[in-house]
Amino acid sequence: MTSRPLAITGAHEFTPTVFPDERGLFLAPFQEPAFTQALGHPLFPVAQSNHSRSKRGVVRGIHYTRTPPGTAKYVYCPIGRAIDIAVDIRVGSPTFGQWDSVLLDQEHYRAVYLPVGVGHAFIALEEDTVMSYLLSDSYIAHNELSLSPLDPELGLPLPQNGEAILSARDQAAPTLAQAHEQGLLPSYTECLRAQETTHH
């Protein structure tokens, strides 16, 4: 498995070695030694795993968890194709307001690690795109927040011609600047503190 840091501080992409044969193929989308070597710590204890299936053109996010407690994620796409997007919404972070993306597909079988406090979104590029992810904390509705993926200041690579399919919640979500003004964004310092707690 190889790894690559993303443009967002603390976020990483992982690409496993694929072993094809006459039966099909085999790969390991998460490997602890490679993760620890890349990040300097092991993966968080997994509190929950999520599974979603999306139509082509569906945009989910930008979602994040109030910090504390904060949630780290390890995201993988076992079926279909998606653009997975990490958005740095941590106030005080050296990469605040920036985003980076990774193509998750059935050719390279990449996975993405998102540290505590980083916003997450993805765009389904095919029908029945399945996303599977590991979470460091359980779902608590009160702690789950959303930012607008349509925020022109961010300029995410969304489907054009009105093809993006969003939930009512994501359509009504504030922009990054609005959330900042309202004090809804996590602080980088708090996220780092929660991150340390998460991994121990």
- CA quadruple 188, 190, 193, 195: dihedral sign: negative
3-state secondary structure of 178: helix
d(CA 20, CA 186): 43
Q: Mind telling me the catalytic residues? A: 63, 133
- In terms of DSSP bridges, do strands 48-54 and 129-135 run parallel, antiparallel, or are they unpaired? antiparallel
- What letter would DSSP give residue 165? B
Q: Name the one residue in this structure whose structure tokens are 């996220």.
A: 191
Cα–Cα dist 184/146, whole Å? 10
The H-or-E segment that residue 35 falls in is helix 32-39
The answer to whether 14 and 113 are in contact (CB under 8 A) is yes
Tokens, residue 174? 């504030």
d(CA 155, CA 167): 19
